[in-house]
Chains A and B, each alone.
Chain A
Amino acid sequence: MKSMTTLVERLGGINLLPVLLAIIALVLIGSPSTWLTLTIAGLSMGMMIFLMASGLSLVFGLMDVLNFGHSAFISFGAFIAASVLAALAVWVAADSVLLNLLALFAAISAAALFGLVAGWMFERVIIKPVYRDHLRQILITMGALIVAEQIILAIWGGSPVAVPRPNFLSGSLIMGDVTIEIYRLFAFGLGLVTYMALHAVLNRTRVGLLVRAGVENREMVEALGFRIDRLFIGVFAVGSALAAMGGAMWAGYETLITGAIGSEMMIIVFIVIIIGGLGSIEGSLLGALMVGLMGNYVAFLAPKMALASNMILMMAILLWRPYGLRPAVK
């Protein structure tokens, strides 16, 4: 038994949970081609959720701030990307991959830039006055979310908005019985690259070292001579930019969006950061992949249970590990 535990730890320990989930799903689904299609859909969905959740997890961990307005950045990111893609409709529909890429890059960059600037302003105006007061944080950020949703309604209207997909991301790859949407592969790749970049910044730079230390004990970081509040503004702005980027990618995935896109995703985002553990990028990724895979497998196996499945997953993990799978502070 002990050698088995050692072997599991050596192979990746808790990081193997998504693999375990996939193996159980393979047994239950039976068909390898269906399983592969669902697995790739689940992984790409997980990566998009990771983009939306990672910033919020760091904000929770670093400054103990409950930001219920995070979903506003997801919504704005989605609508800004949709507007940019609509404005660049000629490039989006062109046969040139270069023009398609330029349109996509412009849409994601515009969403991320908006998230960066709006996140900075949000922190200064909304969050700063309510540090260390959870009740006020909840009230004011929920109020800000309502205002943001009304602004979206005023600008983009109440009807669903269509999101054009760049030509090269339309369609699917078909390999035998396996069908894989190209957009999902792209979303998975972008999420993976973003995770690797975040991981490198957090683990190989001095700013990353300060963020990791601040998540554990911000008072001690200040006693060592660093202004954690200034660091927090940066983390908040980057977290908001990531949420907007996630919203932009999610909009392309859904292809038809409404002003409620952010609020709808927020429950999933909260589940992910609770499962993953507060303040941890690795935990967010693990939680997002679990949620993405679980959602897709259960939607196939027992469609009526799809919504409940992630709640059940969260409860099971919290019973096993009350602080989540990989919390920053143990």
Chain B
Amino acid sequence: MSAPILELDNIFTDIAQYHILHGVSLHIPEGGVHVLLGRNGAGKTTTLRTIMGLWQAKQGAIRFRGEDITKQHTSDIARKGIAYVPENMGIFGGLTVEENMRLATLDGSFDQDRLQRIYTLFPALEKFWNSSAWSLSGGQKQMLAIARAMIEKRDLILIDEPTKGLAPAIILNMVEAFREIARETTILLVEQNFLFARSLGQTVAVIDDGRIAHSGTMAELVEDAALQTRLLSLSLDAHQ
């Protein structure tokens, strides 16, 4: 396995008076798609937000390419090459699709090759390029959120439950898109949809009650029904 691009070392995070993460440790190898699974309220979103500096870790260290980013400002973390696609997509509805995309570029100009790749993956964005983002459907907004993370070369993309509330046809489209993105970028994907996660993930970590309950390869988890039942309270068979 390659050297980790991101390491979380014994991270504790509190939100107001609530203790959410209780010593999360993760090693995300460079390249491919890596999945963080867990039920609602397990601490998945908090983990991503803590990595981005949107919530401060109370204890522990987060290292990106070996550099400690635990106390750094969110914007500085983003400029190191980490993109974040939040669960609510973070679309600026009052801006056009073009303005949303332009905002995600660091100098305000588009790399035309990248833009063409995005148009190929998500043709709807080209069609609605000058439309207000309010007018997009849920699936199109998710496409825009992901396209925004792709418009610049990023080393790592953190994506929070991208399939939530989307139709199966759009989820299939997302699988293709993530495979394309993973050719040049590492993806840390937070998911509850195990079928979607297993179709993409190389490694998997399962978080429960703010602690990592399991980590290993996705293949191990897929082959071990007992482990799935224990960790996720689900059976692959039931989802097929």
Contacts and interface: CB of A to CB of B under 8 A. Distances in A.
Interface of B: 52, 54, 73-75, 78-79, 84, 86, 90, 92-95, 99, 102-104, 106, 108, 134, 148
Given A328-B94, A329-B94, A220 B86 contact: yes
Contacts of A216: 92-95
B93 A220 contact: no
Contact of A222 (B78, B92, B95, B99): B78
B105 to A, nearest CB: 9
A119 B54 CA distance: 28
Nearest to B85: A223
Contacts of B106: 225
Contacts of B54: 219, 222-223
Interface in A218-243: 219-228
A224 B73 CA distance: 12
Nearest to B108: A206
B150 to A, nearest CB: 13
Nearest to A228: B75
- What 10 pairs between A and B have smallest CB-CB spacing? A220-B90, A225-B78, A222-B74, A225-B79, A223-B84, A213-B92, A222-B75, A216-B92, A227-B75, A206-B108
Nearest to B148: A224
Contacts of B86: 220, 223
Nearest to B152: A225
Interface residues of A, number: 21
A209 B75 contact: no
B94 A225 contact: no
Given A209-B103, A213-B103, A224 B78 contact: yes
B95 A209 contact: yes
14 contacts: A209-B95, A209-B102, A212-B92, A212-B94, A213-B103, A217-B92, A219-B90, A222-B78, A223-B86, A224-B103, A225-B75, A227-B73, A228-B75, A330-B93
A221 B104 CA distance: 9
Interface in A182-219: 206, 209-210, 212-213, 215-217, 219
A329 to B, nearest CB: 7
Give the residue among A216, A224, A226, A328 with the most B Cβ atoms within 10 A: A224
Contacts of B84: 223
B92 A220 contact: yes
Contacts of B102: 209
Nearest to B80: A225
Contacts of A212: 92, 94-95
Nearest to B102: A209
Contacts of B75: 222-228
Given A213-B95, A221-B103, A226-B75, 8 more contacts: A206-B108, A213-B92, A220-B90, A223-B54, A224-B104, A225-B79, A329-B94, A330-B94
